[in-house]
Chain A
Amino acid sequence: MLDKIGIAKRIAQEVRNGWYINLGIGIPTLVANYIPDNINVVLQSENGLLGIGPFPSEQNIDADLINAGKQTVTMMPGSALFNSADSFGMIRGGHVDLTILGAMEVSENGDIANWKIPGKMVKGMGGAMDLVASAENIIVAMQHKSRDGQSKLLKNCSLPITGIKCVKKIITDMAVLDVLPEGGFKLLERAPGVTVDEIKAATEGKLVVEGDIPEMVIG
């Protein structure tokens, strides 16, 4: 099983040179730390920044420079600032190459639920619905099972959905899976020490297993 850092490291392997990438809050934010030095990407923050840099030192904190998680950040050389309408123009217009975000549930046809739990206080969807409705390439970072052991990879989402038929790839603490265009989770890799049977048992939706499933290589 992978921890959060392991999931972030495995996702970082999916990143290609020259991409503009939007990272969601949580595990996706950690991915930035594990992108290899020879891969040049630009990170987009939907509150209006292209070129997110590392967190600032105590001396360099600027209250006017935050990411979408409201954390203080810095800018890389060559950064650009813009307003929220332009920012979502980049997102809906298909100019962002990869979106990485967390999820509470994903269904076998690629629906994602990550914004609302009935009976709990609704905080709002923020930019998640815009991101999932538009991105060509969406990777979901999540735990395979909920804290009480229920599968989060389902036939149908039980929670209110954020977007339909949009998730392409899922990287969990147990596995790497593609969402097939015709429906179903195709198992690509196992986390170190996790068996195919364990993944089957943890996946409620249709799981497609073809041939030998290799173990992930995490650097």
Chain B
Amino acid sequence: MIDKLVKNADEAVRDIHDNAVLMLGGFGLCGIPENSIAALLKTGVKGLTCISNNAGVDDFGIGLMLKTRQVKKMISSYVGENAEFERQLLAGELEVDLMPQGTLAERIRAGGAGIPAFFTPAGYGTEVAEGKEVREFDGKKYLMESWLRADFAIVKAWKGDSAGNLVFKGTARNFNPMMATAGKITIAEVEELVPLGELDPNHIHTPGIFVQRIFQGTGYEKRIEQRTVTS
């Protein structure tokens, strides 16, 4: 089996260069590649375009890379909960491209699947439609949206093996599997690296073909944004 194993996050992100286009998995702070983000803070790489559903919070997730001014552009569906983000956006220091969440997910899926464009009803008749081709199918109007691909896709999984096979847990799956398919280089960090053969092939969410580098992360904080309990 092809061995994708790298030592740690530092080795995995070593060649991420200035102005690279990245995809970063996660929904809110759930299922984000914590170790790789920490390693990117250390390399100090700049001018990054980050494709990620959200932009983290002020002191965690992508919010940390905003603080260090490493991000030039965010491509997201929802970017609330982040004061530094707001400041940079209003000051014209940060570009933002917002789109419907399903459109974002499908553009990434299309990028990984070799589909350059598709038609979706989301955003028809709204400002999202400006400048986009509209076509009618069976009496309903749809917008053409194009694929998204990245120089590096960085995903976080629950378990993985040296062949790059991945299994996700709970709603930490979210954007991670599609992003894994859409990176020229896909980096996977996992909570638990298991011996080859231990993952049941019937239960693998992301087949190893999509993953170029894998490592076991450490010290996962898994911060919770809205800790909500029954009273």
Stretch at the interface among A65-73, A169-177, A193-201: A65-73
Q: A83-B178, A125-B78 are in contact. Are A63 and B222 (CB under 8 A)?
A: yes
Q: A61-B227, A83-B178 are in contact. Are A122 and B98 (CB under 8 A)?
A: yes
**Quick check: is B224 within 8 A (CB to CB) of the other chain?**
yes
Quick one: closest B residue to A69, CB to CB? B226
Residues 56-72 of B, flagged 1 when their CB comes within 8 A of A and 0 if not, give: 00000000000000000
- Say how far A32's CB is from chain B's closest CB, in angstroms: 13
Decide if A161 touches B105 in the complex (CB within 8 Å): no
Q: Which residue of A lies closest to B143 (CB)?
A: A133
**B103 contacts chain A at the CB level, 8 A cutoff:** yes
Nearest CB of B to A76, in Å = 14
B120/A92 in contact, CB under 8 A: yes
The answer to whether B121 touches A84, judged by C-beta atoms less than 8 angstroms apart, is no
Please tell me if the beta carbons of B178 and A92 are within 8 angstroms of each other in the complex. no
Which of A7-15, A34-42, A52-60 is the contact stretch?
A52-60
Contact of B101 among A61, A67, A127, A164 (CB under 8 A): A127
B77 at the interface (CB under 8 A from A): yes
Interface centre among A46, A48, A65, A87 (most CB of B within 10 A): A48
**Cβ of A183 under 8 Å from chain B:** no
Q: Specify which chain A residues have a CB less than 8 angstroms from the CB of B77 in the assembled complex.
A: 124-127
Residues of B in contact with A, size category: 35 or more
- In the complex, whether A99 has a CB less than 8 A from a CB of chain B is no
| Interface assignment of A134: CB less than 8 Å from any CB of chain B | yes
Known: A47-B30, A66-B225, A125-B77. 12 other contacts (CB 8 A): A48-B173, A49-B170, A49-B171, A70-B29, A83-B205, A84-B101, A84-B105, A87-B105, A88-B106, A91-B102, A124-B80, A125-B100
CB of A7 to closest CB in B, whole Å: 20
CA A16 – CA B99 in complex, angstroms? 32
Residue contact A124 to B76, C-beta cutoff 8 Å: yes
Chain A interface residue count, Cβ-Cβ cutoff 8 angstroms: 49
Judge whether B172 is part of the interface by a CB distance below 8 angstroms: yes
Give residues in A with beta carbon < 8 Å to B. 45-49, 54-58, 61-67, 69-73, 81-85, 87-88, 91-92, 111, 121-130, 133-134, 160-164
Give residues 32-86 of B contacting A (CB, 8 Å). Answer: 53, 76-80, 86
Stretch in contact with the other chain, from B7-15, B125-133, B194-202, B209-217: B125-133
Cα separation A87 to B106 with both chains bound (whole Å): 10
Residue of A nearest to B106 (CB): A85
Partner of B121, one of A133, A161, A162: A133
A62 vs B174: C-alpha distance when bound (angstroms): 15
Q: Nearest 8 pairs between A and B by C-beta?
A: A88-B102, A130-B102, A64-B170, A164-B125, A63-B222, A123-B80, A124-B78, A133-B121
**When chains A and B are docked, how far (Å) is the Cα of A50 from the Cα of B195?**
31
A73-B227 Cα distance, complex, nearest whole Å: 9
